[in-house]
Chains A and B, each alone.
Chain A
Amino acid sequence: MTAPMDAPESSQHADPDAAATGGANAANRSLRQIAWQRFRGDRVGMAGGIVVLLLILVALLAPLLTSWFGYPPNQFHQDLIDPLTGGVLRDPGGSSQELDPWGGISTQHLLGLEPVNGRDLFSRIVYGARTSLLVATVATLVCVVIGTVLGIVAGYFGGWVDMVISRAMDIFLAFPLLLFAIALVGVVPDGAFGLTGNNLRIGVLVFIIGFFNWPYIGRIVRGQTLTLKEREFVEAARSLGAGSAHIVFREILPNLLTPILVYSTLLIPTNILFEAALSFLGVGINPPMATWGGMLDNALRFYTTSPHFVIIPGLAIFVTVLAFNLFGDGLRDAFDPRSSD
């Protein structure tokens, strides 16, 4: 610590209590570094983060992975299947018609085989991760963009603008989303917007999920903006002559990045579940493209003979959603100002 502050020299220098906040190294850390340090100490959040990272890698490297450890996702292996029941044989090529209770899990087929067609489950799970993450992430991005823009506009400008946007949010949240999705998929003709087949289906899914879930982000952003615009630093910016654009982009938006990041991480798993549900209902991606929801839909017919076919995609969804949730919770705790000093 410095000399007592009656010494005139010291009054010109940094305050004596400057270092008291936690050592000299704390002074140079940015908020992000502090959050990272806190996040590293959170084992559960870290585990979630690592799983999320692995999932993204798996999705990105799907062709590579399947060429190393599996088969193309749509290659049939009907020689391993009992043609009568559709189950996986324990001893293919042999005389016994006994079914494998493990669903054909072996070094050849890491997660076993699909009933009837005998496609490699590992490959389909890996490719399914691609679809799920793609749809969920893009849909979340749509949510974030719409939600942030409308949330800031509502919160910052207030008055009738806020009224209109807030009511719109209520309406969107009250929409019978599933029914709408089913109807829309039936109505949109192939080739609309220049998209065909599954690209169109993915587009429609992203549109539906993104367009109807933005109010969740929008409400959070609006609330945060309402409190942020009353803060003194906004008033200070106004007193410097700053206009609305400066205040929104330079003063308010940087403070919204953390909540937006956290809530989008928490929104991704919801969207994954939603995509799975739509695919399960048959309004999602068309076969033969691999999706987790679609696999579950197929699996239900075989749950007595091939329980692994239900369990494996179910587990994939479960692990992904859990990992994203844990990761998001960890992020929130790490950035939460309430848990700091």
Chain B
Amino acid sequence: MSESVPSSASPVVRVEDLRVVFPTMDGDVHAVNGLSFEVPAGGALGIVGESGSGKSVTSLALMGLHRGSRARITGSIEVAGQDVVSASDRKLRRMRGNDIAMVFQDPMQSLHPQFTVGNQLVEALRVHRPEVSRSEARARAVRSLERVGIPHPQKRINSYPHEFSGGMRQRVVIAMGLMCDPKVLLADEPTTALDVTVQAQVLDLLDELRTDLGMGLILVSHDLAVVAGSVDEVVVMRHGVAVERGDVRTVLAEPEHPYTRALLAAVPRVDLSRAQRRARDRAERAQRTRQEQRRSTGATAAGEAGAKEPDRAFAPFTPEPKEERGEPLLRVEDVAQRFGVRGGVWGRTTDFWAVKGVSFDLFRGETLGIVGESGSGKSTLSRMVMRLLEPTRGRVEFEGRDITHMSERELRPLRRDMQMVFQNPYSSLNPRVTVGDAIGTALRVQGERDGRKVRRQVQELLERVGLEPDHYNRFPHAFSGGQRQRIAIARALILKPKLIICDEPVSALDVSTQDQVLRLLSELQDDFGLTYIFVAHDLAVVRQVSDRVAVMRAGEVVEMGDSDSVYEEPSSDYTRQLLNAAPVLDPEHARELRAERVRRRARAS
């Protein structure tokens, strides 16, 4: 475009009183309701909010991608001097990719699988600059790939997207965005689909590009910690409204709006230990119970029955002395799992060991955290312990009984004692089965025939996990993610198990909901003396719930020990790398960590 270069003072993106309304069957939904912000040239803005806050709608509106949908947009959006709301489709097309480039959440889906990345990069440039020759565009594409840190760009330019890993693919998407030297890069949850270490690399890259190329950056995320180290200014959104906006340091250090404060309080911190968190949760719970008791002092019977129970349950946390543990509840010895992977020449299957030789003991009342990135084998391990998979090698003992090769029929009575909470509350509940039936299934499967008894027990449990007893007849789709996970927890609890395996129980949830679910799990552990295996990729979450932690990588445990010592003094290099990559809330600390990562990388290359 041949307009005059905007002075550094004029913002490259200006949004004023933006409103986006979607007409639906249940009336208008105000997805964005009066949002205003500015991004100066070369500046970085973070837009943070939970699901449904309108942050993604905002980023789509910035690109003018609501054209052709039924959304009604009012207010003004200016990108590089161009009014997006009123511009013609032609002008919009010229703007997209040229002035503002977008990086989407899922790099698996934002690249075309049938073309080489080189072709896609060349295309991105030639759409806007048809005068550039093919060879010139190709040279540029190589430079662009090199810029985002793809090794051997000369060769890799001819690769197809599926030949790259997730992190590399996201780099390719960023490289594509860079092809036309845009003035702003809009990244909508660019790292949500990626592992921690890869996330850190991509965020570092975005930061580096911004400083080197003087490009504006808009970083949209649900995670305050992701944004903290990468932006100057932050907008906190809720229900389509910016509840707080300001310098990232001020907002994070002295949040003004109660919502921001609540959000910050809910973010799990990697530097907070389990003992601290438990103490806090128990204190809050005790206070809550006291309040409730005060409120209902008239009830005499309740006072007598409830008085003893809470005192015992809410006793301050004291770690059990190790000698008294006795026999372990669960003993896992050198288990391994092999999968046949089809592929290679003539479709021959090759062996892939998802887990290779993991051993641990688990004692009653203990929580073992298992952390690892995707593909580390942590889910496979938990499924072997649950005996949803039969270990290829090794031994699993539960309460002294060898369950490694038990048949489904022999396992059935044992299923009472071992339960699982799954990762995705959207797929772990059958959409066609009412909540009450879903929870009651366990009782029926285990031989309970009395329908009224099942109903009563389910309703009691629904109340215990923070839902209403009359939710019994509702279908799962009527519940939010957090509520669904509560239902899933109730389903796991109904048989009063001894061991619950939580496979990423909070990774699909918003931070605030995540916090509530973690709290619930910890309360239930206090009340029922549960033993947990807690599998997650989020280091901070694992630290807060685990007594012991096992760090997994490529099917092996690289480090296992007392959770505080693993986090404070990691012995393995990999753990240190993970901890270093974990996003932190303090912007200064985040920058220090980034500097350290850059140093480490420079040393490595």
Contacts and interface: CB of A to CB of B under 8 A. Distances in A.
B12 interface: no
A152 B586 CA distance: 54
Nearest to A16: B512
A239 interface: yes
Interface string B52-84: 100000000000000000000000000000000
A3 to B, nearest CB: 8
Contacts of B491: 236, 240
A162 interface: no
Contacts of A21: 52, 478, 480
A259 to B, nearest CB: 12
B67 to A, nearest CB: 20
A243 B408 contact: yes
A238 interface: yes
Contacts, number: 143
B388 A235 contact: yes
Interface string A4-38: 11101101111111101111011111110000011
A29 B477 CA distance: 9
B459 interface: no
Nearest to B413: A241
Most-contacted residue by chain A among B432, B445, B513 (CB, 10 A)? B432
A246 B29 CA distance: 41
A254 B438 CA distance: 13
Nearest to A7: B262
Given A23-B26, A236-B428, A8 B441 contact: no
Nearest to B412: A241
A180 interface: no
A32 to B, nearest CB: 9
Contact of B26 (A4, A6, A22): A22
A14 to B, nearest CB: 6
B428 A233 contact: yes
Interface string A240-266: 111100100011001101000000000
B482 interface: yes
A29 B446 CA distance: 31
A237 interface: yes
B16 interface: no
A231 interface: yes
Contacts of A5: 262, 266, 512, 515-516
Given A17-B51, A254-B432, A31 B477 contact: yes
Given A8-B287, A14-B483, A18-B483, A235 B422 contact: yes
What does DSSP make chain A's interface, helix, strand, loop or mixed?
helix
Given A8-B287, A15-B480, A240-B445, A233 B429 contact: yes
A285 B423 CA distance: 58
A254 B423 CA distance: 23
Contact of A251 (B27, B408, B433): B433
Contacts of B52: 17, 20-21
B433 A15 contact: no
A232 B419 contact: no
Given A5-B262, A18-B483, A26-B26, A246 B50 contact: no
B364 interface: no
Interface stretch (B109-117, B396-404, B467-475, B545-553): B467-475
Q: Select the residue from A8, A16, A22 with max chain B CB neighbours within 10 A.
A: A16
Interface string B587-604: 000000000000000000
A158 interface: no
Interface string B415-448: 1101110111001111111000010011001100
Contacts of B513: 15, 17
B466 A13 contact: yes
**Which of B420, B441, B483, B513 lies at the interface centre, i.e. has the most chain A CB atoms within 10 A of its CB?**
B441
A232 B475 contact: no
Contacts of A27: 474, 478-479
A20 B480 contact: yes
A233 B425 CA distance: 9
B24 interface: yes
Nearest to B285: A8
B456 interface: no
Nearest to B466: A12
A158 to B, nearest CB: 14
B262 A4 contact: yes
Contacts of A23: 26-27
B510 interface: yes
Contacts of A8: 284-285, 287-288
Given A23-B27, A28-B474, 10 more contacts: A9-B288, A15-B480, A17-B482, A18-B479, A38-B25, A239-B388, A239-B420, A240-B445, A241-B415, A242-B445
Interface of B: 24-27, 29, 50-52, 239, 258-259, 261-262, 265-266, 284-285, 287-288, 386, 388, 408, 411-413, 415-416, 418-420, 422-424, 427-433, 438, 441-442, 445-446, 466-468, 474-475, 477-483, 488, 491, 495, 510, 512-513, 515-516, 519
16 contacts: A5-B262, A6-B262, A8-B285, A14-B466, A17-B480, A21-B478, A22-B29, A26-B478, A232-B424, A232-B428, A240-B442, A241-B411, A241-B416, A242-B445, A243-B445, A251-B430
Interface of A: 1, 4-6, 8-9, 11-18, 20-23, 25-31, 37-38, 41, 231-233, 235-243, 246, 250-251, 254-255, 257
